[in-house]
Amino acid sequence: MVSVDEGEDLEEKKLLGSGGYVFAKLTEQEELSANLGVPQIFLANVGRLNESRFSKYYCNKCGKEYPGSAVINYENPNEELGEGVILVEKGEYKCRICTNVIAHYRKFNKRK
Protein backbone atom coordinates (compact mmCIF):
# COMPACT_ATOMS: atom_id res chain seq x y z
CA MET A 1 0.00 0.00 0.00
CA VAL A 2 1.27 3.45 -0.87
CA SER A 3 1.44 5.85 2.02
CA VAL A 4 -0.25 9.15 1.43
CA ASP A 5 1.59 12.35 1.91
CA GLU A 6 -0.77 14.94 3.36
CA GLY A 7 0.49 17.45 0.87
CA GLU A 8 -0.58 15.24 -2.00
CA ASP A 9 -3.37 16.24 -4.29
CA LEU A 10 -6.51 15.04 -2.51
CA GLU A 11 -9.91 15.59 -3.96
CA GLU A 12 -13.16 15.33 -2.05
CA LYS A 13 -15.50 12.70 -3.47
CA LYS A 14 -18.89 11.29 -2.64
CA LEU A 15 -18.62 7.57 -1.87
CA LEU A 16 -21.76 5.47 -1.88
CA GLY A 17 -22.58 2.75 0.62
CA SER A 18 -25.55 0.46 1.09
CA GLY A 19 -26.86 2.45 4.06
CA GLY A 20 -25.85 5.97 3.14
CA TYR A 21 -22.93 7.84 1.72
CA VAL A 22 -19.79 9.64 2.85
CA PHE A 23 -17.67 12.51 1.67
CA ALA A 24 -13.97 11.75 1.81
CA LYS A 25 -10.80 13.00 0.24
CA LEU A 26 -9.17 10.54 -2.15
CA THR A 27 -5.89 10.52 -4.01
CA GLU A 28 -6.08 10.17 -7.75
CA GLN A 29 -4.73 6.63 -7.42
CA GLU A 30 -7.41 5.61 -4.93
CA GLU A 31 -10.07 7.12 -7.11
CA LEU A 32 -8.81 5.22 -10.16
CA SER A 33 -8.65 1.88 -8.35
CA ALA A 34 -12.13 2.35 -6.87
CA ASN A 35 -13.68 3.42 -10.14
CA LEU A 36 -15.01 0.40 -11.97
CA GLY A 37 -16.13 2.23 -15.06
CA VAL A 38 -19.24 3.71 -13.50
CA PRO A 39 -19.72 7.35 -12.52
CA GLN A 40 -20.34 6.49 -8.86
CA ILE A 41 -17.58 5.55 -6.45
CA PHE A 42 -18.49 2.89 -3.91
CA LEU A 43 -17.05 2.96 -0.44
CA ALA A 44 -16.88 -0.85 -0.57
CA ASN A 45 -14.25 -0.57 -3.32
CA VAL A 46 -12.16 1.97 -1.48
CA GLY A 47 -11.97 0.04 1.80
CA ARG A 48 -10.56 1.60 4.93
CA LEU A 49 -9.44 5.20 4.94
CA ASN A 50 -8.01 7.21 7.78
CA GLU A 51 -10.83 8.93 9.69
CA SER A 52 -9.22 12.29 9.08
CA ARG A 53 -10.04 11.94 5.37
CA PHE A 54 -13.77 12.15 5.98
CA SER A 55 -15.59 15.44 6.11
CA LYS A 56 -19.16 14.22 6.59
CA TYR A 57 -21.47 11.27 6.09
CA TYR A 58 -25.15 10.66 5.53
CA CYS A 59 -27.10 7.92 7.31
CA ASN A 60 -30.17 6.57 5.51
CA LYS A 61 -31.75 5.39 8.74
CA CYS A 62 -31.38 8.72 10.55
CA GLY A 63 -32.14 10.57 7.33
CA LYS A 64 -29.46 13.04 8.39
CA GLU A 65 -26.01 14.21 7.50
CA TYR A 66 -23.34 14.27 10.22
CA PRO A 67 -19.96 15.99 10.24
CA GLY A 68 -16.81 13.89 10.49
CA SER A 69 -16.29 10.19 9.94
CA ALA A 70 -18.57 7.25 10.54
CA VAL A 71 -17.29 4.63 12.99
CA ILE A 72 -14.95 2.14 11.33
CA ASN A 73 -14.87 -1.39 12.72
CA TYR A 74 -12.66 -3.99 11.13
CA GLU A 75 -10.95 -7.30 11.72
CA ASN A 76 -8.18 -9.18 9.99
CA PRO A 77 -9.34 -12.79 9.76
CA ASN A 78 -6.63 -13.85 7.26
CA GLU A 79 -9.04 -16.54 6.24
CA GLU A 80 -8.17 -18.88 3.40
CA LEU A 81 -11.08 -18.95 0.98
CA GLY A 82 -9.58 -21.47 -1.43
CA GLU A 83 -7.81 -21.05 -4.77
CA GLY A 84 -5.09 -19.12 -2.91
CA VAL A 85 -7.44 -16.25 -2.10
CA ILE A 86 -7.14 -14.91 1.43
CA LEU A 87 -9.65 -12.64 3.13
CA VAL A 88 -7.22 -10.16 4.67
CA GLU A 89 -9.61 -7.68 6.18
CA LYS A 90 -13.30 -7.15 6.55
CA GLY A 91 -14.82 -4.07 7.97
CA GLU A 92 -17.79 -1.82 8.15
CA TYR A 93 -18.62 1.84 8.45
CA LYS A 94 -21.37 2.54 10.98
CA CYS A 95 -23.39 5.58 11.92
CA ARG A 96 -22.18 7.07 15.20
CA ILE A 97 -25.74 7.78 16.31
CA CYS A 98 -27.86 4.73 15.41
CA THR A 99 -25.14 2.15 14.44
CA ASN A 100 -26.78 1.63 11.05
CA VAL A 101 -24.19 0.16 8.66
CA ILE A 102 -23.25 2.74 6.03
CA ALA A 103 -21.04 0.35 4.06
CA HIS A 104 -19.23 -2.98 4.23
CA TYR A 105 -15.91 -3.69 2.61
CA ARG A 106 -13.63 -6.68 2.17
CA LYS A 107 -10.02 -6.84 1.20
CA PHE A 108 -8.55 -9.90 -0.47
CA ASN A 109 -5.05 -11.04 -1.21
CA LYS A 110 -4.12 -13.60 -3.79
CA ARG A 111 -1.33 -15.90 -2.62
CA LYS A 112 1.53 -16.19 -5.07
Binding-site ranges for Zn ion (CB under 5 A): 59, 61-62, 95, 97-98, 100
How far is Cα 100 from Cα 33, in angstroms, rounded to an integer? 27
Question: Which is nearer to Zn ion, 24 or 70 (by Cβ)?
Answer: 70
How far is Cα 43 from Cα 49, in angstroms, rounded to an integer? 10
CB of 35 to Zn ion, least distance (A): 27
CB of 41 to Zn ion, least distance (A): 21
How far is Cα 8 from Cα 30, in angstroms, rounded to an integer? 12
The one-letter code for the residue type at 51 is: E
CB of 53 to Zn ion, least distance (A): 20
